[in-house]
Every structure is written in structure tokens, then in C-alpha cells.
Amino acid sequence: MHPIRMVDLKRQYVRLRTEIDESIQKAIDSTAFINGPDVHSFSAELSAYLDVEHVIPCGNGTDALQVALMAIDLEPGDEVITTPFSFIASIEVIKLLRLVPVLVDIDPLTFNLDPLQLEAAISDKTRAIIPVHLFGQCADMESILEIAGKHGLKVIEDTAQAIGAEYIFSDARRMKAGTIGTIGCASFFPSKNLGCYGDGGAIITRDPDLHVQIRTIVNHGSRVKYYYEEVGVNSRLDTLQAAILRVKLRYLDDFNAARQEAAAAYDRLLGSVSRLRIPARASWSTHIFHQYTLIIEGAERDNLCDYLRSRDIPAMIYYPLSLHLQKAYRHLNYGEGDFPVTESMSKTVFSIPMHTELETEQIEYICHHIKEFLNR
Ligand SMILES: *Cc1c(COP(=O)(O)O)cnc(C)c1O
């Protein structure tokens, strides 16, 4: 059995080595290191894959969120709603732009922003909502879009963990995560479902005006070289990363299918274990398992993770401390008890290895040791 890793980028690379090396070599030979042809091709190929008009590559997923917020013309003090159960980037960019993050608790089944609690958080200063499609499954976008529409709010999807997931509307129409709201934000951080070998990100939109605006912002606020229309940033996808992503995009559906297969195997082995809750599947989304996240009842979560690690099984907590309780965000004046579902999740969730190279033997070994711990 191969050593078990949380994400096995090495074995995936070895499998794709010929194609990836060739693509990287071509990019180097071209010496078009900044905004080279691979960047444009990748942008076009990702647009086609997502079935969306515009994909603007950028430096990373955090930049994508920041640029998305810059593109919708907000004023300092405007409120942006998001979830406290996410990676820090979702709230960080709101603060950086002198906007006010307003948090809404999550739905305990999908870990995503709870639309039933959304309206109570909307004020006359609210301008946008950032739902995060956490762990590879879409938030309840139909409900969120309906509320956003009623209040004239923009919806910026954080699809860093859900590239390739599909949202299923109640009339059976399907749309890819990140193409449903006003703007979608993707990350190509190496461990993401579509990961490069460094930093990378993209901003997704159907709106032609926003497309122009976003392209301008990521390019120092410039449309014509050395003429600046507004204050922008420098956020580019590296040509070498684009060369890698072009190869990996061709495998994205296979990658996501491999993750789904691993998840199904985990489900079979862990589904009936008492005190353990396997990931719930929303009726409105496919799940591409950026993470396979379980909930364990009782106060044994950390002991279980230590036990697994002692058997060379990595286990991670996403996320151990809710955003509203982080030191850097104390000034938001939230406190313990404000988001009970999120707080309870941060004490009971744990994620087990999930990637494209998991073998049956590894999955069985992992599940065997989880059960062994619970049956002690
Ligand atoms: C990874 C991630 C980001 C940030 O992406 P980077 O490319 O690391 O900047 C933002 N939001 C979520 C939910 C993420 O998982």
C-alpha cells in the first residue's frame, strides 16, 4: 500500500507527467512568461467547460474575491453577507476593502450558508452576498438568488472548493458552480480539485460590462498600456501555471469522478457506524468532494484524529475556529454563541484523505482504523 496522504499530488503528477512536462516545456520555450498564449487558451477552455461567457484568470482565489468586490462598485461601510464557516479569504477581502462583513450561520447538513437565516441579516446597507460552496457542494443558490433578487443584492460565489460541481435548479436546469450568481471566484491552489503547481485563480461572469471592468482591475486599472482609468491591482495567472492547468482541466471531470468514487466507498464503509455522520448530499447540487468531512458525536474528535495520525492516516479539521471567533475579527463584535451551528461544527467535524489517487486498500485501512477507535 502507498503511504496515505491527505492529497496525493505526487502520484497524480507521475500519472500525467508526460503531458504536463511537455506543456511546461512549451511555455518556457515560448518565453512569453507574462500573459502568454497558454493564459488566453486556458481562459477560453475554462469558459467552454463552465459554459459561461467570461473567465478572467488572476493570481489566486483570494484576489478573485477581492477583485469581484472591487468590480461591483461598493462604498466603504457597505455590508456584505457571508458565512462564518469557511476559509479566511471570504471575510478578509471584505474587511480589506473597508466593507462590513455580516455573517449568517450555516445549514448543518451541507455546511453552507443557511438561506432561512439570510433575510434577517439584510439591512439597508447590504449590497452583496458571498455564498461559499464548501467542501465541493453548492450552497442553496435558488433560495439565495431569490432573496438577493428581492433586495437588489449582488451574489458572488466563492467556488474555490467546487470547480466542476453542478447546481440543479428545481426545474432540472443545471449550471456549473461559479456561473450562477453575478460573479464566481475560483482558486487553483495546488490542493484544490483543479490545482496548479503554485498560485492561481479566476473570476467568472456572464456580464459583458463586468468582464471589461474585471479585466481592467486585474491589470492595474488599465485598458490602454500606461493609461489608468481607476485604481486596480496586479493579479495575473502565471503562464507556466496556465500551461499546467490546460492539461489538468482536460482531466477535471475524471478527477471529480475519482473523488466521488472514493466518497461512495467511504460511505459504504462508514455509513452505518453509530456516532458518525457521513457527508449529506443536497438535492440541488452534485458533490465533487473537495473534502470528505464527517461529524463525530461526543468530545472524541481530537482523540480520534490523533489515533488516526498514529496509524499514519492524516486527518484534518476544516475549520477548527469559526471566522467570527478569530482574533483578527474581534472588532466585528460577534461572540461565542452567535452562530451555534458553525460553532458546533468546528468542534465535531473532521476530514479524511480525499484525492484522485486513493486506492481501495487505503480506503479500507482508513475506515478500519476509524471503526477500531470507535469500538474500543
Ligand atoms: C482556497 C480558498 C480560497 C482562497 O484561494 P487562494 O487561491 O488560496 O487564495 C478562498 N475561499 C475558499 C473557500 C477556499 O477554500
> What pLDDT sits at residue 124?
97
Structural domains counted in the chain: 2
State the greatest distance between any 2 C-alpha atoms of the chain, in Å, as a whole number.
69
Does residue 174 come out as left (phi exceeding 0), alpha (psi in the -120 to 50 range) or beta?
Answer: beta
Nearest CA among 136, 132, 172, 134 for reference residue 155? 132
- For ligand 1, whether the C-beta of 201 sits within 6 Å is yes
> What pLDDT sits at residue 211?
98
Best of 87, 156, 235 to mutate for ligand 1, by most ligand atoms within 8 A of CB?
A: 87
Q: Are residues 277 and 196 in the same domain?
A: no
In a domain, 137, yes or no: yes
Whose CA is closest to atom 1 on ligand 1?
A: 160
Q: Are residues 337 and 361 in the same domain?
A: yes
Q: Are residues 153 and 239 in the same domain?
A: yes
- For ligand 1, whether the C-beta of 90 sits within 6 Å is yes
Q: Are residues 231 and 268 in the same domain?
A: no
Q: Is 153 helix (H, G, I), strand (E, B) or coil?
A: coil
> What pLDDT sits at residue 283?
97
Q: Are residues 221 and 363 in the same domain?
A: no
Atom of ligand 1 nearest to the CA of 64: 9
- For ligand 1, whether the C-beta of 189 sits within 6 Å is yes
Q: Are residues 19 and 158 in the same domain?
A: yes
Calculate how far, in angstroms, residue 61's C-alpha sits from the geometric centre of ligand 1.
5
Q: Are residues 244 and 268 in the same domain?
A: no
- Spans of the chain below 50 pLDDT: none
Best of 92, 106, 137, 161 to mutate for ligand 1, by most ligand atoms within 8 A of CB?
A: 161
Cite the DSSP H helix spans in the chain.
9-30, 37-50, 61-71, 89-96, 141-151, 208-218, 239-250, 252-270, 301-310, 340-348, 360-374
| Domain end point (choices 211, 231, 249) | 249
> What pLDDT sits at residue 113?
98
- For ligand 1, whether the C-beta of 60 sits within 6 Å is yes
Q: Are residues 306 and 189 in the same domain?
A: no
- CATH classification of the domain holding 357: 3.90.1150.10
Residues forming a β-bridge with 227: 224
Q: Are residues 152 and 279 in the same domain?
A: no
- For ligand 1, whether the C-beta of 93 sits within 6 Å is no
> What pLDDT sits at residue 136?
98
Domain encompassing residue 90: 9-103+113-249
Atom of ligand 1 nearest to the CA of 89: 10
Residue 260 half-sphere exposure toward CB, CA atoms < 13 A: 15
> What pLDDT sits at residue 126?
98
In a domain, 261, yes or no: yes
DSSP 228: E
Q: Are residues 336 and 317 in the same domain?
A: yes
- For ligand 1, whether the C-beta of 187 sits within 6 Å is yes
Task: Provide the 10 A C-beta neighbour count for residue 125.
Answer: 14
> What pLDDT sits at residue 34?
96
What is the per-residue pLDDT across 3-27, written as a single tens digit (0 to 9) for each? Answer: 999 999 999 999 999 999 999 999 9
| Domain end point (choices 224, 249, 274) | 249
Q: Are residues 162 and 296 in the same domain?
A: no
> What pLDDT sits at residue 297?
84
Atom of ligand 1 nearest to the CA of 90: 11
- For ligand 1, whether the C-beta of 111 sits within 6 Å is no
